[in-house]
Amino acid sequence: MKNAETPVVKLVLYGAMSGLGSALMAEFLRRQHEVIAILDDLTALAPLPGLRTKCGDLFDAARVRQSVAGGDVVVCLLDAPGLPMGLEQQENLLLEPREQVLAVEALIAGMQAAGVRRLFLLGNFEVLDNPEMEGRPQRQAAEAILDALQGSTLRWTLVNTPRSVPGLTLEHFRQPAGSLPPKQDESVQRLARVAAGIADELQLNLHLREHVNFVDRPARG
């Protein structure tokens, strides 16, 4: 039953088929919010209360505008496999650094056109704090993304992508803690903490136009 005193947040999610995407879906649905997963394949996720799927193309600003319209917040996982590209067949490709820049530019333009302002962008942004990465493609891409965000009207937060094991799905995050094999369970708990942190940041309106990292620290039992 929904708590009538808690406002429902509509989360638009790019990267739903990743482990962190699954963690975010589980966390926002647990808080009785709505999740709109942007996919190439609308049958990739099983139906759940509060979960919807829409087609989209992260590289097309007009398609982004259509996909995010009516949402309250967008979360985009740049390191996730299978980001929507308007393809007839789903391909679990990872974006190259330059492709990430192009995707973010389209995302910014589409969000601004739709009037959706809040964005959490997750990726390999720890390179911004590493002098040894100066001049490398990953660092140049991260700097270009940061410049694009700073020149936008969005209320953004950059987040470093946490470590994960492959193959995690939404069902893994609906299992009781400790019921999975140790490596999976550790990764599930880590991603669940990051997802909860993002939901809290949104609720409390924290770290606007800042770059943050969630400390990988187990919860105390």
Q: Tell me, yes or no, whether 23 lies in a domain.
A: yes
Classify residue 56 as left (phi > 0), alpha (psi -120 to 50) or beta: beta
Q: Tell me, yes or no, whether 184 lies in a domain.
A: yes
Query: 């990872």: which residue's tokens?
Result: 94
pLDDT at 129: 95
> What CATH number should be reported for the domain holding residue 156?
3.40.50.720
Residue 195: name the closest of 35, 5, 87 by CA: 35
| Amino acid identity for residue 48 in this structure | L
What is the reported pTM? 0.94
Q: Tell me, yes or no, whether 218 lies in a domain.
A: no
Q: Tell me, yes or no, whether 112 lies in a domain.
A: yes
Q: Tell me, yes or no, whether 217 lies in a domain.
A: no
State the residue range of the domain holding 114.
Answer: 10-212
**Overall number of domains in the chain:** 1
Q: Tell me, yes or no, whether 73 lies in a domain.
A: yes
Q: Tell me, yes or no, whether 28 lies in a domain.
A: yes
Q: What's the rounded mean pLDDT across residues 113-136?
A: 96
Per residue in 34-82, pLDDT tens? 999 999 999 999 999 999 999 999 999 999 999 999 999 999 999 999 8
Q: Tell me, yes or no, whether 165 lies in a domain.
A: yes
Query: 């638009």: which residue's tokens?
Result: 12
